[in-house]
Every structure is written in C-alpha cells, then in structure tokens.
Amino acid sequence: MNSALQVEDLRMVMPSTEGDLQLLRGVSFSVAKGEAVGIVGESGSGKTLTLRAAIGLIPPGASVTGRVRIDGESVLDLSGRPLAQLRRDKAGMVFQDPHAAINPVYRVADFLTEPWRKAPGRERAAAGERATQLLSRCQIADPARVLASFPHQLSGGMLQRVMIAAAMMRDPGVLLADEPTTALDVTTQSEVLALMNEVRAERGASLVLITHDIGVVAAICDRILVMYRGRIIEELTPAQLYAGQISEPYTEALLSCRPDVTHRRDRLPVVAAGAFDERYAD
Amino acid sequence: MMTEDATITQDEPPRLGVDATPAFRIEHLSKTFFPGSRLRPRPPVVAVDDVSFALPQRSTLAVVGESGSGKTTVARMLMGLEVPTSGSIEFLGRPLSVRTAKDRRRHARSIQMVFQNPYRSLDPRQKVGGSLDEVLKLHTSLSAAERRTRSRELFELVRLDARLLDSLPSNLSGGQRQRVCIARALACEARTIVFDEAVAALDVLVQAQVLNLLADVQAETHVSYVFVTHDLAVVRQVADDLVVMQAGRIVECGEVSAVLDAPQHPYTQRLLAAVPREGWTPGL
C-alpha cells in the first residue's frame, strides 16, 4: 500500500429546487507517494469539490458517497477532532487567493504556529524556529520581518509563499493546491511553482495541483487528469499531451483554444457551450 | 506602429499610427502616492514615473508588468479615477478634465473599463438587463422601448441570448457575466475600453470566445482597447502594440510581434521566459 491519497467512486449530490444536481459522478484516482498529479477542467467541472472532499470539506447540504483514504485513514468517516488532526498533520492545503484564505487579524507568526498554540512552551518555541526555517526555505529573505507582519502588509506572491510554508509546517504526506498561482503574475508564478516542487521533492510529499492552465500542470506534474461535468474523462502524461496522444475531444479543445505566446492566430477555435454534453452524458 | 526601435526614450513620446487623432495620448505622466496619515506620514511612493504613449483609434494596446509596476494606476488615471501628479492626458485631441460629476459622465462616454472579477462587478440583486438599461438611461436620451431594443442588440453583439436579459447574475456563468460587463462597456459607444485583467480568470474555452468577440466588435465599431494584463499569450493574440512597465516606468515598447519575437530589456526577457510551454520548468 504505497498510495498517499486514494479516491474511489466519489459521488456528490446537491438537492435543489430544480431536482438533484450531480456534482461529482464517480471520481476515482490515486496518488502514489512522492507523485505529482494535476487536475484540469473548466469551472464547474468538480475539480475543486474533489480536492476539498479529499480533506472532508463538504459543502453544506450535499450528500457524499465513495471512499477517500489519506495515509490509510478513511477521511469521509472522520469528524471533529480526528478530522482536524488529519487536516493539520497529513494534508497541507494551499488556496487560490492567499489574502482571502489567511485570517487577516493575526500576524503571520501566529498563523504559522497556530497548531502549537496550546502546546507547552518548549514545543511552541521549536514551532517558531521551524516557521523561520521554512520561510527562508520558501525564498523569503527576511523571515523575521514577515513573521511579524499582518497579511495585508505582504504582496500576493509573498503571502502565497507563507501559505505554502504553513501547509508544510507539519510535514504532511500530501500537499493539495487549488489554483495556487492563478492570482499571481507570471514571474512570481514560476517562482511559486518551482518552490512547491522543490519543497515537495525534498520531503517526499505527494502533490495534487488544480489549475485551469494546462501548461502549468504539464510543467510540474507526473500525470494529468482531465475533469468534465463531475467525472475524470481522460488521464495522460505531459509527454503524451505534447506529443498529441490525446483521445478525448474535450482535452483537445482545452489545448487548442489557448492563445499561443509564440504566434498570433487569425481566430481562436470556438467550441460551443454544451458541445460535449452528449459525449460525456451518463 | 508606435516606435521604430524597441527601447523608448522618455523625452520623445512614441510616434503615432495612421490616424491623425489618437484615441488618447498621455505624455510624461507621473503619479506619486503619499501613504500614511498627515501626522505619521510614510515615505512617498512613485507609482508611475514619466510615462508617455498614445493609442491610435481602432487599435489595441497591451500594458504588461508585474504587480506593483504601476499598470493599474495608469489605467485608473485614464479613467479619471486618479488625478496625475504631473503630465497630461488627451482624449480624442482634448485634454482630460474630470472635476465635476458632469465631466465624469462625459468622460465615461469616451472610455469604459471592464474589471477582473465578473462576479463582483454586477449587482447581485439587479437583473443584468437592468444594469444595462441603467447605463443607457444615464448616457443616452432613448425611450424605454428604444433602450430595450438597444439592450437586445448589445446582447446580440456579445453573443448572449436576449432572454438572459431578465436573469440575475447568479444564474449566469462567469463567462456570461463577463460578456454582460463587456456589453455594458459597449452600451454608451465608448471609443476606448480598458480591460484590467478581465480575461485572465476565464476558462480557456470561454476566453477564446471572448477574445474573438472583441476582435469582431473592434472591426464593426472602430473601438480601441487597452489590455492591462500579465498574460503574454493573450497579448500576442489581441494586441497591436505593447508597453512593458517595471517599477512605474516604461522599460520597453513597440509592436507586439517585434517586442515578443526579440525582447530587448532583461525584464521583458524574464517575463517571456516565465510563460509555461513545452519543455519548460519553473525556476526561482
């Protein structure tokens, strides 16, 4: 048993006035220890729901079936303190908008060492040291200044590094990142991706990365999962992607509709909304 | 179209294209912010430092740079939302002045802005047709029935079903909402539209549609566009000219193909090197 994260037949249904919405329609995949897996798809395809369900974050009112295992523990059967412990120790989460995800009234130091708030003094001091180490590992030149800052005093790129450091504080086996670089400019994106890659490789952690930029996942992931309407419709490697070994028209469309930085096209290919509904119906 | 050589000399504003009167021309524009309070002032921040460029009518200019480079401040000054510390802005040959609400409204007729987040730029309790109608009411003397017809035309222009006019924003997808925002920007027949990272958050399939649509609208209405963005692939696809900003200054500018094919400034080279593509690995 060497998978860090295992998702089996995950289904999510949300009741609404217009009938039940099938948000996830049987998602299955596993991530081996040390492996990086990327999930791409348009908004509403269920990629964020899948990632959040993996750590037991279920939207209110939704009913979930299936199994999720992180490091052998069945996440969907946990609640309360054991679930909180799992989120703290075994799965680090990085969100899209660091300014929205980090409590604005605490200093960065408090945010990073929160899990040790009730620990005895010695351990708390050790946590502070670890925070300093991780921040310098995350290419932050002046950790002391950053630790003493409030989130609003830092730029998006800087705060995203803080969030990565926070996710790595307890040395989790899995790092889950939801559009971690979408809000950043390209040079900062490159730095943050490189950093996530390095920190992860160094500690042998697995990565699940969600993005809508297929170029980003192809650059740092071992495998790419393509989601559409609550299901994984294709799985391929970056090499297959660039070699054009794509079997699903939706994946093809995702790749061909991107504007290309090397040349201008007369018109971008247009895919009508709902063009794939029939192909990927139940 | 703007300058022959890729590096700009700040003393000589870039030359103009074919149109005699540009959509706008800014010269030696600077903006300094004075943060902190009057009692505890903090050091002044020079957000924009001696920036000059012009946008010919019916063309598209991209302004790129990382966060903090001053690109959004330039856009806000164009919109009349910030007052320049020094320098001049001219619209269709006339100097920009927005001292009164009336000035502001007149200015809004020549330039409109589409913001990054389509989820926050529409009133969640107002039907999207209503927010379009509001703009038409403010800027035109059309009757209610004429406004309704015009709204339908605008929706047709952005390829939205006219039946969606009676929907609330929450019933529309992100791409549909962004098209409503674009229709709204087109409603008062503005001569220039500024897009502040307005296509970055869209899914690629929707983004492709929106970019094609903007090209069509430009061909039909002769509007000019300013794209404030950090996505160089989008720049290549839509823009004619490119201005690269760093720390408040223009470090490079020229035709898009010239700048992107042979970037001269190290910063432009670094931006291009950071675009994910086949064989690319992120670097620190």
pLDDT digit string, tens, across residues A73-85:
899 998 888 898 8
Q: Mean of the pLDDT values across residues A169-177?
A: 89
Which is more confident, A184 or A58? A58
Which is more confident, B191 or B13? B191
Does pLDDT of B192 surpass 50? yes
Residues of A in contact with B178 (CB under 8 A): none
**Per-residue CA distances from B139 to A110, B79, B96, B253 (Å):** 51, 16, 18, 35
Specify if B13 maps to a domain: no
Average pLDDT of chain A? 88
Nearest CA to CA, how far is B62 from chain A (Å)?
14
Specify if B128 maps to a domain: yes
Q: Tell me the residue range of the domain where B87 lies.
A: 24-34+43-273
Q: What pLDDT is attached to residue B20?
A: 62
Specify if B261 maps to a domain: yes
CB interface of A with B, residues 6-45, below 8 Å: 42-44
State what percent of residues in chain A have pLDDT above 70: 98
Identify the structural domains of chain A with CATH numbers, from first to last.
32-58+78-90+175-282 (3.40.50.300), 93-169 (no CATH)
Q: What pLDDT is attached to residue B10?
A: 42
> Whole-prediction pTM value?
0.82
Geometric angle at alpha carbon B169, from B223 and A267, rounded to 5°: 40
Look at A186 and B203 and tell me if their CB atoms are within 8 Å: no
Other C-beta atoms lying within 10 Å of the C-beta of residue A273: 12
pLDDT tens digits, one per residue of B38-74: 888 888 888 999 999 999 888 999 999 877 788 889 9
Kindly list the strands in the beta sheet with A73-74, ordered across the sheet, starting from the edge strand earlier in the chain.
A21-32, A3-14, A63-70, A73-74
Does pLDDT of B17 surpass 60? no
CA-derived radius of gyration, chain A:
20
Q: CB of A14 within 8 A of CB of A20?
A: yes
Q: What pLDDT is attached to residue B15?
A: 42
Report d(CA B189, CA B108) in Å as an integer. 10
Task: Grade residue B18 by pLDDT with cuts at 50, 70 and 90.
Answer: very low
Q: Which of A211, A115, A103 is nearest to A167 (CA)?
A: A115
- Touching check for A262 and chain B: CB below 8 Å? yes
Does pLDDT of B268 surpass 90? yes
Does pLDDT of A194 surpass 70? yes
Q: What pLDDT is attached to residue A28?
A: 96
pLDDT tens digits, one per residue of B193-240: 999 888 877 788 888 888 998 998 898 888 999 999 888 999 999 999
Q: What pLDDT is attached to residue B91?
A: 87
Nearest CA to CA, how far is A121 from chain B (Å)?
36
A vs B, Cβ pairs < 8 A, gives 118
B40 by DSSP, 3-state: which? coil
Q: What pLDDT is attached to residue B235?
A: 94
Report the CATH number that the domain containing residue B106 is assigned in CATH. 3.40.50.300
Q: CB of B78 within 8 A of CB of B26?
A: yes
CB interface of A with B, residues 70-109, below 8 Å: none
ipTM: 0.81
State what percent of residues in chain A have pLDDT above 90: 38
**Backbone φ and ψ of A36, nearest 5°:** -115, 125
Q: What pLDDT is attached to residue B115?
A: 85
Nearest residue, CB atoms, A194 vs list B207, B231, B282: B282
Does pLDDT of B5 surpass 80? no
Q: Which residue of B has its CA nearest to A40?
A: B203
**Any residues with CB less than 8 A from the CB of B167 and at least 6 apart, and which?**
B127, B128
Specify if B212 maps to a domain: yes
Q: What pLDDT is attached to residue A273?
A: 64
- When mean pLDDT is compared over A40-49, A221-230, A267-276, the highest value belongs to A221-230
Specify if B67 maps to a domain: yes
> What tokens appear for B242 in the block?
């490119």
State what percent of residues in chain B have pLDDT above 70: 92
Look at A268 and B276 and tell me if their CB atoms are within 8 Å: no
**Per-residue CA distances from B162 to A192, B167, B189 (Å):** 43, 10, 19
Look at B282 and A197 and tell me if their CB atoms are within 8 Å: yes
Specify if B11 maps to a domain: no
Specify if B253 maps to a domain: yes
Q: Which residue of A has its CA nearest to B67?
A: A185
Q: Which residue of A has its CA nearest to B228?
A: A185
The number of domains in chain B is 1
Specify if B91 maps to a domain: yes
Nearest CA to CA, how far is B123 from chain A (Å)?
21
